[in-house]
Amino acid sequence: MVSTGDNTLRAEYVDKAIKAIALMEYKLKSLCTIDSSSAYTETYWRETNTDPTNVGVSAIGKIKGTPRLSPFVYGEVAWTKVTGINEKYAVEGMISYEDEQMNYLPMIERTILRMGRGVAKAVDDAIAASMLANAGNTFAIAAGNTWDNATVANRDPIKDILYGIDMLRKDNIDALAGNGYLVLNGTDYTNVISNSKFTNNPSFKTADVVSNGVVGQICGLKIIVTEALEVTAPDVAYIVVKDSAMVWKQVQPLTVQQIVDPGIKTTIRAWEIGHCQVVTPNAICKITNTRS
């Protein structure tokens, strides 16, 4: 049995609202494999993406053409130990009983939305920082060819995107197998979407329905627009292979709780616990595009 002000009477609404927020607001987290965790500290081993090559490493010779009865050329795999700490992302808002009952605006609904969005943005900002720090492939667009260069003819984002795809391919990572994403901030998206080389490319198309920031496709990559990149490095774009590059270690998914103090106030509390692991750095290509 519950009383009139008991938050369980509103649980269904909160659940639906928070799932809708997650669908709309998470952009970079949608690129991660979600892996549950119950530990404070998470440790994993990041494997090098370098395969043994056909280059002689001793007097014996090369991989190709090993003579009969000859010892094999030696090759080895290397790993790096990486440790991360699961962190809490949390925020809460308070609505007085009078505001809830008498304001023109739906105070509970709007506060649920804003608290949930605050946590989602903080999580995406943290993932963006991990991408910036750990991208295994990187190149800088020449100063005279940036995507906002005053000489329109010098802008060539298609060539830059294809070059990034090729960098991943050289590491035996296929960004064109269906899970490749081009991740842009709003300014860079505006610059490339206004470029005729971009929009006239036969591979370009807009999204029928925008979800998780995906606004279209180009060169076999889905395009994501997120302002989380503006927080970490406004001049950087990325090519990311979804589910290969990153893991989100999740102790607690995004959760919202209404705490009702009848006749006085309602507290809206939102939180999530986890952290990002870049398990395959070479599945991320960082494109530095210094603005003019």
pLDDT tens string 31-88: 999 999 999 999 888 877 666 665 554 444 567 777 788 887 777 777 888 899 999 9
Q: What is the model's pTM?
A: 0.84
> What is the tally of structural domains in the chain?
1
Averaged pLDDT of the chain: 87
Closest CA to 44 of 284, 277, 281: 277
At residue 152, does pLDDT exceed 90? no
Within a domain: residue 152?
Answer: yes
Residues in the chain: 292
> What angle is formed at CA 288 by the lines to CA 213 and CA 27, rounded to 5 degrees?
15
In the predicted model, what is the mean pLDDT of residues 196-208? Answer: 92
- Quick one: tokens of 146? 């940036």
At 72, which amino acid appears?
F
Residues whose CB falls within 8 Å of the CB of residue 26, separated by 6 or more in sequence, listed in order: 120, 123, 124, 212
Question: Which H/E stretch holds residue 254?
Answer: strand 246-261
At 65, which amino acid appears?
G
pLDDT of residue 102: 87
At residue 5, does pLDDT exceed 60? no
Within a domain: residue 58?
Answer: no
- 114-133 tens-digit pLDDT: 899 999 999 999 999 999 99
pLDDT of residue 6: 53
Closest CA to 292 of 183, 138, 145, 140: 145
Within a domain: residue 272?
Answer: yes
Please list the residues that pair with 272 across neighbouring strands: 89
pLDDT of residue 219: 96
CA distance 212 to 82: 28
Within a domain: residue 254?
Answer: yes
Would you say 229 and 236 are in contact if contact means Cβ atoms under 8 Å apart?
A: yes
Within a domain: residue 57?
Answer: no
Within a domain: residue 109?
Answer: yes
pLDDT of residue 60: 47
Would you say 135 and 284 are in contact if contact means Cβ atoms under 8 Å apart?
A: yes
> What angle is formed at CA 56 by the lines to CA 55 and CA 62, rounded to 5 degrees?
85
Q: Are strands 137-140 and 284-288 parallel, antiparallel or unpaired?
A: parallel
Structural domain for 266, as ranges = 7-51+81-288
Output the domain CATH number for residue 133. 3.90.1690.10
Within a domain: residue 170?
Answer: yes
Query: What sections of 179-246 are H helices per DSSP?
Result: 186-193, 196-199, 228-232
pLDDT of residue 51: 67
Within a domain: residue 44?
Answer: yes
